[in-house]
């Protein structure tokens, strides 16, 4: 499948799944703009990605309307088009409910959910302009199941799944909108800061029905498929990429 000559914007593309996605799309012939809040991660990513194809790196906050406008505008200026938006930026705060402040709750929702809304609203007219495009939101299996102390993160990702089908109905048929909910994806090797990748145990892998922990490339490949022509009949979907864990009955 060729994405040659097309352009994408990846939010949170300086590390982790976002970086792997930007790299994967560049390797398939796309030009890629990245909106990244961490200036250090942005610099490291730009150096690593620059040799693969056209890259436009924008340092900014996805929860800022002005920064989102700047990122989409830079993609238009540099590439003359925008064919795909990957709403990947996100983070979590894990605290007991009684200790989670309103400011922390609001910040998680601002980045994980409002940022996707702002990006979709700004990018949609540009995606539609050149004959249609695609949006992929990166949610989480935490939208479907929980561990303790994840209220803000789970709510934001559940909202992102719902935002996906709302946007799919509103923007179709010109713009398709889908969602990916990753499970355990080992991104430790794609984090800035110099820390060594996590040492995964045999038990970590074996507990997954697929036999291993996920890799960022698993998600990146699904993104490429969802924004490409072979997924032309797919919209409003939530694709769970978790090695089968959400389908496994676990009794202690």
Nearest to 126 by CA among 177, 61, 175, 53: 175
Place of tokens 């993104």: 223
* Catalytic residue of the set 7, 12, 153, 231: 153
Q: What pairing do the DSSP bridges indicate for beta strands 175-182 and 7-11?
A: unpaired
User: Per the structure block, which two tokens stand in for 46?
Assistant: 């730009």
Angle at 241 (CA atoms; ends 42, 4), nearest 5 degrees: 55
Please say whether the beta carbons of 71 and 60 come within 8 A.
Answer: yes
Across the strands, what pairs with 240? 181
Active site residue 153: yes
Question: Active-site residue numbers?
Answer: 153
């Amino acid at each position: 499948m060729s994405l040659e000559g097309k352009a994408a914007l990846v939010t949170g593309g300086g590390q982790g799944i976002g970086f792997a996605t930007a790299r994967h799309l560049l390797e398939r012939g796309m030009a890629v703009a990245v909106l990244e809040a961490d200036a250090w991660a942005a610099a490291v990513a730009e150096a690593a990605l620059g040799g693969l194809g056209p890259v436009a790196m924008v340092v900014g906050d996805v929860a800022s309307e002005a920064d989102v406008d700047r990122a989409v505008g830079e993609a238009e200026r540099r590439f003359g088009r925008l064919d795909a938006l990957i709403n990947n930026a996100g983070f979590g705060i894990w605290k007991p409910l009684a200790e989670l402040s309103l400011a922390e709750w609001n910040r998680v929702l601002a980045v994980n959910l409002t940022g996707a809304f702002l990006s979709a609203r700004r990018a949609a007219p540009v995606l539609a302009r050149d004959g249609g495009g695609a949006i992929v939101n990166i949610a989480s299996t935490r939208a479907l199941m929980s561990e303790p102390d994840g209220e803000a993160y789970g709510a934001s990702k559940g909202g992102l799944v719902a935002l996906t089908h709302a946007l799919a109905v509103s923007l179709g048929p010109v713009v398709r909108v889908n969602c990916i909910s990753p499970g355990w994806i080992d991104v430790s090797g794609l984090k800035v800061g110099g820390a060594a990748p996590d040492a995964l145990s045999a038990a970590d892998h074996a507990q997954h029905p697929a036999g291993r922990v996920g890799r960022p490339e698993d998600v990146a490949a699904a993104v490429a498929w969802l924004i490409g022509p072979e997924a032309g009949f797919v919209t409003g979907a939530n694709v769970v990429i978790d090695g089968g864990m959400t389908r496994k009955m676990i009794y202690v």
